[in-house]
Structure 1
Amino acid sequence: MKVLKRWLLLLLILVAAFMIIDIGRYFLYPNVALLQKDRPGKTAFMEYREETWRQKGIKKKIRNTWVPLSRVSPYVIKAVIIAEDDKFWSHEGFDFAAMQKALEKDIKKKKLLAGGSTISQQLAKNLYLSPSKNPVRKIKEAILTSRLENNLTKRRILEIYLNVVEWGDGSFGIEAAAQSHYGKQASDLNPREAATLASILPNPRRYKSDGTSRYVENQSERIYQIMVRRGIVIPEYDEVIEEGKEENARPGENDHLPKENDGSAPKGQ
């Protein structure tokens, strides 16, 4: 019996040592400071998705095109922050009030379901960790989140997040999302489209932007109305802009006529 206890104690010590080393390495690795200027390579979530496809025998490729924050519609930036992390600009990586609410929901449902993660936490998870929900992964996520916040500006964190987060099965980043969902560039997304894309972030492979999801419909409307209340969107102005874009996209009635002084018609003497 004593020998068995010794072996069990040794096993526990080894397991504890392994966990300490496994968690502790994230205080030093990876070098997140490189992200100040460098774009991240293939993220852990992208690799996870590719491995899932390989195991299922699915031949697909990751769709991802990097765009600077200056080429992302400001409506997308506002909508995503409203939907995912409304205190993004003021917190230091963690929204403890949101985390408490999420924990209370999990306890009530007896499952690890609710969110509560900030954009910084989501970025840490997407870049370096797996989708699994367990305490060890959350500790690693917390360490990486703190390091990201200490090494990168808020603007840079947001720029990287918008370029790597999953927005559909195989679509990563806002440019790929804009192209796959709406056939346009990220810079051209309007408020309604931005609100819809923001609403599918919690489960991008389940939620669709095609109007078939009641959740997406309700959530996108909520996000849109918040943007209206905050003065981010002025509906009347937005409608005029959209109508103007549609008219410019259609051939005009007088397109066949020569334009004044464009070289296609003789100038007056």
Structure 2
Amino acid sequence: MATRARPRSKPRARSFRPIRFLIKAVFGLVIFSVAWVALYRFVPPPFTFTMLGDVLSGRSVNKDWLPLSRIDPDMARAAIAAEDSKFCAHHGFDVDAIGAAMMRNAAGGHIIRGGSTISQQAAKNAFLWQGGGYFRKGLEAWFTVLIEAIWGKQRIMEVYLNIAETGIGTYGVNAGSQRYFRHDASRMSPVEAARIAAVLPLPKKRPGVAPTGYTRRYGNLIVRRAAVVKRERMDACVR
């Protein structure tokens, strides 16, 4: 009696190949991103996508890394006062700020405001590119979780202050201080620190020297807020 041939299982096996490939790819990206973040825990980011954009536009890149321990404390206070008053209290995301930003944007207006923390901005500046989109925001959230877990607050502030754009082709508060005030960021007055902090949201459009209009008023506001940060020890996590 002839035996029946077993049905072939190859088509079914082939159907699982894309899924296996996807799982392996996701796992590989997770391992790569964790290793990348761990490396930057000890090594200054040598280059960023934002810097690359300047280079491709024909601009030179000016940066000069300075350890957080040597950056004037007024600079970190000004950054917290301007960008993220709850920096030492949250774990990467300020839910209240995000909710408030969503409500303001839903109400309409010409300016779309975000609720990004210093941690989110550091993650974006170090590992990603500028611009919006849900995909990039999703990656930003993932890298924010990683740097909060692997770097800690001091390293997050150190990286942020060293790679944030502070002028056209200028990166980091040390290079910004040298450009605007002719001295490094180890000795800054509260006003100088506030002026650089006021430039951060729009570094290609706002002047750091002799600011006028909104930038001047905003800088003066940051000076007052930074005094509160100092008095209330809201910068304790970076000292």
Category of TM-score, reference length = shorter chain: 0.7 to 0.9
> If the length of structure 2 is used for normalisation, what is the TM-score?
0.80
For 2:124, the equivalent position in structure 1 comes to: 125
Aligned to 1:9: none
Match of 1:37 in 2: 42
Change (3 A) 1:181 1:101: same
Q: 1:223: how far off?
A: 1.1
Q: Which whole-Å CA distance do the structure 2 matches of 1:193 and 1:47 have between them?
A: 28
Query: Which aligned runs of 4 or more in structure 1 are off by greater than 6 angstroms?
Result: 19-25
Contact 1:26 1:144 (C-alpha < 8 Å) held by counterparts = no
In the alignment, structure 1 residue 183 sits paired with structure 2 residue 182: yes
CA–CA separation in structure 2 for the residues paired with 1:104 and 1:29 = 36
Greater gyration radius: 1
Q: What SS does the corresponding residue of 1:186 show, helix, strand or coil?
A: coil
Opposite residue 78 of structure 1, the aligned amino acid is: R
Contact 1:66 1:163 in 2 (8 A): yes
What does 1:32-71 align with in structure 2 at a 5 Å threshold?
A: 32-51=37-56, 53=57, 58=58, 60-71=59-70
- Does structure 1 conserve the Cα–Cα contact (< 8 Å) formed by 2:105 and 2:113? yes
Q: Which residue of 1 aligns with 2:107?
A: 108
Query: Retained in 1: the 8 A contact 2:41–2:151?
Result: yes
Determine the structure 1 residue equivalent to 2:31: 28
- Give 3-state SS (helix, strand or coil) of 2:78's partner: helix
**What is the identity, as a one-letter code, of the residue corresponding to 2:50?**
F
1:143 maps to which residue? Answer: 142
**Is the Cα contact below 8 Å between 1:169 and 1:204 reproduced in 2?**
yes
1-side partners of 2:141 and 2:27: how far apart?
12
How many residue pairs were aligned?
A: 211
Normalised by the length of structure 1, the TM-score is 0.72
Structure 1's 218 and 179: CA in aligned 2 closer, same or farther, altered over 3 A?
A: same
Deviation readout 1:174-198 (Å, 9 max, x if unpaired): 1100011111110111111111111
Matching residue of 2:71? 72
Equivalent residue letter for 1:167: T
Whose RCO is larger (CA < 8 A, sep 6+)? 2
Q: Tell me the secondary structure at the aligned position of residue 138 of structure 1.
A: helix
Q: 1:228 to 1:143 in 2, by over 3 A?
A: closer
Q: Aligned AA for 1:62?
A: V
Are the counterparts in 2 of residues 168 and 205 from structure 1 also a CA contact under 8 Å?
A: yes
The 8 Å contact of residues 77 and 230 in structure 2, kept in 1 or not, is answered as: no
Q: 1:147 to 1:111 in 2, by over 3 A?
A: farther
Tell me, in whole angstroms, the C-alpha distance in 1 between the residues paired with 2:140 and 2:47: 18
Q: Which runs of 5+ in 2 are unaligned?
A: 1-17, 232-239
Matched with 2:155 is 156
Aligned AA for 1:29?
Answer: F
Counterpart residue type for residue 83 of structure 2: E
